[in-house]
Amino acid sequence: MAAADTAAPMLLFTDIDEPGLATREVYERRGGYESLRRALAMSPEDVLAQLEASGLRGRGGAGFAMGKKVSFLPKGAMDKYLVCNADESEPGTFKDRELMQKSPHMLVEGIVIASYAAGATRSFIYIRGEYVLQADALDAALAEAREAGYVGDDILGSGHSLTLVVHRGAGAYICGEETGLLDSLEGKRGNPRLKPPFPANQGLYQGPTLINNVETLATVPAIIRMGGEEYAKLGVETSTGTKLVSVSGHVQRPGNYEIELGIPSREIVYGLAGGPPEGRGVKCWFPGGSSSPVLTADDLDLPYDFDTLAKAGSMLGSGAIIVVDDATPILDVAMKTAKFYRHESCGKCTPCREGTNWTVKMLERIDAGEATPMDLEIMASVQEHIIGNCLCVLGDAMAMPIGSMIAKFKDELEAHMERARLRRGSGDRIASDSALAAQGALANDPRTMLGATGAGDQAPGAHEGAPGTHRGGA
């Protein structure tokens, strides 16, 4: 389980900390833009064939085969667009940030190659507005790339032309959803669109549009360099290549790590990230951002790849592992998750807008001691009614993890409910834990669960989690 066992081949993070890697000079010295030259010497069809052979699956969350996505674009002379989704807002995810900040030329190179394969002549990088440093790095890299003729008209004499614009968002999770992103890029509120038509047919400005995540596009130069088949040898059969994982939460060494897909999850959580601190265990972990159903410590030996995690009832998502240790009440985690999606729901579809709101209200009811065990069933049914009933998957992204928490931690939630009810029922709301313990209410519990929730939530109507509202004061 030592970190040395996981010496993955580094494709994206090779010398990532080298000073000046963000400049063209250093990037070229390390072989940068060689893949672009090689790709432009091939026909677009051959480049596409390499991408398909690589088996590269989208790194943004859905895990759709990248080559196939490119091939969905109609052929022929028309305005086609390539949009790089750099609106990295999935809680727990911070891999694209690192790539754009430290190796922006790799992304630019990947975009130019992908646009060549797709026949796109206009491209945009939609980066979340909070990433100021990263957007500045991209702008600087882009200026250098334009100067060197890697972006612009007739790139390196190939006849392929491409404009590339860095577009800064303004803070909205929903703009990471591909059609919400397109609306936002068109200058509107970021509301998702009805699909079909899919963006490959009718996307940005109603034109055929290829949308890919930063990491997906940044992998393209490596695929061209190695050859698609060689790349496909990395990882496991249906999850090829390397993946950046962002590990955070209750681990001793949070951070970004490049792994080969298919290694045991335990090697990531414990081997690379150091696991929870001494004396603590893993209660649950989100394997792919806060939208993925939680897994428990028993699942840590699962290989970390797309299909295994899907089979286990969760998903690899964006590759963001959030570890929650066994001293944290699951209700706190559920509350944070639900409040996030309530805040970020765009409000277009009723099941999501109302479902996220009601889920938060019911969780607050549990915490306030006003719930009955039936409420858990109602809450689970609310989740079921969200899934699959909206234009986009934002609602599902709350319903899936909340549903998994209700299913896997039912006993704990019921105990939490009961304890909160007793506290409330004891007449005053400041009954101490010791008094409750004397009544036997805390018997099964390692420590009090009436802990940190929700202080300072920004959503309208949020309760202030300060002491004295419904939980104990001094």
Partner 1 sequence: MSPLGWDTAADLEKPPAEIPSPGEVDVPEGLRAEIEAHMANYPDRRSAALPALAAAQREHGWCSPQAIAQVAAVMRVTPAYLESVASFYDMLETEPVGRHSVYVCTNISCSLRGADALLADFQRAVDGDPEVNVRAFECLGACDIAPMASVDGVYVGPLSSQDIPALLDDVRAGRAVLPERQLARRLVADPHANSTEFPQHPAQGAAHGGANLELPTEDPATARGRREPR
Among 9, 129, 152, 264, binds partner 1 (CB under 8 A): 129
CA 401 to chain centre: 14
Measured from the CB atom, the residue of 207 and 303 that comes closer to partner 1 is 207
273 touches partner 1 by CB under 8 A: yes
Measured from the CB atom, the residue of 67 and 190 that comes closer to partner 1 is 190
- Which stretches does DSSP call E strand in 140-297? 163-168, 209-213, 235-236, 239-240, 242-249, 255-260, 282-286, 295-296
193 touches partner 1 by CB under 8 A: no
- Which stretches does DSSP call E strand in 27-116? 81-86
Residues in the interface with partner 1 (CB under 8 A) total 89
- Give the footprint of partner 1 on residues 455-474 (CB under 8 A): 455-458, 460, 465-467, 472-474
Among 240, 290, 291, 404, binds partner 1 (CB under 8 A): 290
438 touches partner 1 by CB under 8 A: no
- Give the footprint of partner 1 on residues 292-311 (CB under 8 A): none
Measured from the CB atom, the residue of 53 and 459 that comes closer to partner 1 is 459
- Give the footprint of partner 1 on residues 313-352 (CB under 8 A): 320, 322, 324, 327-328, 332-333, 336-337, 340, 343-344, 346
In the numeric block, the tokens 């090697």 are attached to 267
What 3-state class would DSSP assign to 208?
coil
Measured from the CB atom, the residue of 102 and 236 that comes closer to partner 1 is 102
Among the listed ranges 124-132, 147-155, 216-224, 383-391, the one in contact with partner 1 (CB under 8 A) is 124-132
Distance separating alpha carbons of residues 62 and 58, to the nearest angstrom: 7
- Give the footprint of partner 1 on residues 350-389 (CB under 8 A): none
Distance separating alpha carbons of residues 193 and 391, to the nearest angstrom: 7
How far, CA to CA in Å, does 468 sit from each of 122, 332, 460, 473? 56, 18, 20, 5
Whole-number minimum distance, CB 412 to partner 1, in Å? 17
How far, CA to CA in Å, does 431 sit from each of 298, 421, 450? 36, 11, 12
Measured from the CB atom, the residue of 38 and 343 that comes closer to partner 1 is 343
DSSP state of 38: H
Measured from the CB atom, the residue of 55 and 395 that comes closer to partner 1 is 395
Residue 332: is it exposed, middle or buried by C-beta count within 10 angstroms (0-12/13-18/19+)? buried
- Give the footprint of partner 1 on residues 46-105 (CB under 8 A): 79, 88-94, 96-98, 101-102
Distance separating alpha carbons of residues 371 and 414, to the nearest angstrom: 10
Query: Encoding tokens for residue 10?
Result: 């580094």
- Give the footprint of partner 1 on residues 133-172 (CB under 8 A): 133, 165, 167-172
What 3-state class would DSSP assign to 300?
helix
- Give the footprint of partner 1 on residues 389-408 (CB under 8 A): none
How many CA atoms are closer than 13 Å to the CA of 361, on its beta-carbon side?
Answer: 10
